[in-house]
Amino acid sequence: MITTDENAFLEIDNQDMVGPVAGNNDEPTTVASLTNNVDQTTQIDVSIVSIDNANDDILAVDTADFELGPSESTSARVQCARAESVGEQEVTFQVETMNAPLTVTGATFTTVVDIDCGTGSGQIEPTDSGLSDVAASDLTQGGTSQTQTFAFTLTEDLSTGDTTTITASSVGNGNRLDYSEASANTDDPGIVTETSGNDYELVFEATDDIARGERVSITVDGVETKKNAAKQSPYDVSFDRNDKEATEETSFSVD
């Protein structure tokens, strides 16, 4: 273990070895303690310089770019960012401050991390859309008051005020499906608004930060299926986050 001088501007007390670090839905793992030894609040950034025998982006620093008040301490922590297991590897971290007159540059420490990122519970594969496992439940031909469920899993945090839009395309063309009397609700921390027409659109807006790995489910009650609905099945459904350009798609059937 390497401990910097307790009289240094920024004291770094790192672990020799930690782990295993498993699925990135698990709690982040502490690799060092950082203490601000000056009488002013400073902005601190912790980053990964290198991981021996592995890609540097397997791990992500949980405590990056944060403020530390006078005499305050905090933990530098890591978590999985990719589903790869490479075992015990030396990981070199860099710590810097970003406001004068307290200046720390080029300070590094090394900790052996047991990286088992393909094996942990709740392992989350990153996606360009920030979503995965999108789903829309099937409906029955001729039903006058049916319940349908739309759901998605977050592969990145959804911040308060951010949205995910679900669009069922062309469901109203030719009087196929009728969502005009339907109502949508969710037990997750968010509000749902809906628009009915040729396309049926649901907008889920987070009312609190929702962590990656969480599954959001929206229940729609009162869906009516018309006589010709099954002939036009399946129906395409797209899922879009407002902070991402990529889209996830699925479909549902009327039988």
Q: What is the DSSP letter of 28?
A: P
If one compares 104 and 97, the residue with the highest pLDDT of the two is: 97
- Among 27-36, 201-210, 220-229, top mean pLDDT goes to 201-210
The answer to whether residues 182 and 194 touch, using CB atoms and an 8 Å cutoff, is: yes
Q: Using 50, 70 and 90 to split pLDDT, how confident is the model at 211? A: confident
Q: Using 50, 70 and 90 to split pLDDT, how confident is the model at 5? A: very low
Q: How far apart are the first and last CA of the chain?
A: 64
If one compares 190 and 101, the residue with the highest pLDDT of the two is: 190
CATH architecture of 131-252: Sandwich (2.60)
Q: Where in the chain is the domain with CATH 2.60.40.10?
A: 10-116
- Among 37-51, 60-74, 160-174, top mean pLDDT goes to 160-174
Which candidate, 234, 226, 232, places its Cα nearest to that of 253?
A: 234
Which CATH code is given to the segment(s) 10-116?
A: 2.60.40.10
